[in-house]
Amino acid sequence: MEENNEQLENVEEISVEGNDTIKIANDAVATYAGIAVSEVPGVYGMAGGFAGITEALSGRKNLAKGIKVEVTDKNARIDVNIIVEYGARIPEVAFEIQTRVKKSVESMTGLKVLEVNVHVQGVHTSTTKEEPEALPEGENK
């Protein structure tokens, strides 16, 4: 029972017509945002949090990794921490993330997304370099 109470701490209640309410967990909003971010070209991965340990132990990918959600009333503010691919134009990647996250979260939850802040935590560069083939002495390419 205590575990259920902990899960309800990060849940925002949304009133609908009448006395009915809908409860959406911040993690659910973060997952929608994470799916939208993962589809953006130029994003290598998400940064931040202890999700790496959780992923390793559970064997499941945490789509909310690197995403912080703040829901108040019927509004949401979202912070996204990413690592970009080397060569990607950061302003274009950030704008695409903002557009896709806003559209995804608003259509799936009915919340109004006021902010999508993109924080670039790093750039992924290829760590393997192809060595040129050595030619026998006296031969030129």
User: pTM (2 decimals)?
Assistant: 0.73
Q: Domain boundaries in the chain?
A: 12-124
Residue 5 scores a pLDDT above 50? no
Answer left, alpha or beta for residue 49, where phi above 0 means left and psi between -120 and 50 means alpha.
left
CATH architecture of 12-124: 2-Layer Sandwich (3.30)
Q: What is the arithmetic mean of pLDDT over 12-28?
A: 73
Q: Which tens digits make up the pLDDT trace of 61-120?
A: 788 899 999 998 889 999 999 999 999 999 999 999 999 999 999 999 999 999 999 999
Percent of the chain with pLDDT over 70: 67
- Structure-token pair, residue 75: 């509004």
Q: For residues 25 and 140, what is the distance between their CA atoms, to the nearest angstrom? A: 65
CA distances (Å), 115 to each of 51, 74, 77, 80, 141, in order? 23, 13, 5, 11, 55
